[in-house]
Amino acid sequence: MLTLTRHNLRLIIDACWWIFVAAWFLASLRTKQVERRWSWGQQIGYWATFFPATALLFGPFGSFGDILPETRVRLIAGVILTVAGLAVALWARAALSTNWSGAVTLK
């Protein structure tokens, strides 16, 4: 039986992220060819939010550990939210199947 220690809860969250990365990579190998892609000017809104969001995730705040103290209750909530988010992401990817794309495209 898995004991819900802080270490094990963090391992569950990490495992969910690795499953997400592996599933996205494998699914990306089976997407349709792109017929038409939006121009750079049309995608500027996407990139204008992508880079600051990435900086927040991987920058000095990381997982916001400096802002909110890491407690067992917050870790359990994090595990629940991460597992639920992974389930929705995998379902959405399966539903979109080969039509999925990271950018706005016509397939």
- 91-105 pLDDT, tens digit per residue, is 988 887 767 666 656
103 vs 24, more confident = 24
CA angle 43, 18, 51 (to 5 degrees): 25
pLDDT (0 to 100) of residue 63: 56
The Cβ of residue 75 has, within 10 Å, a number of other Cβ atoms equal to 19
Q: Is the pTM of this model over 0.75?
A: no
Q: How far apart are CA 27 and CA 53, in angstroms?
A: 24
- Cβ 9 vs Cβ 79: under 8 Å: yes
- Above 80 in pLDDT, residue 33? no
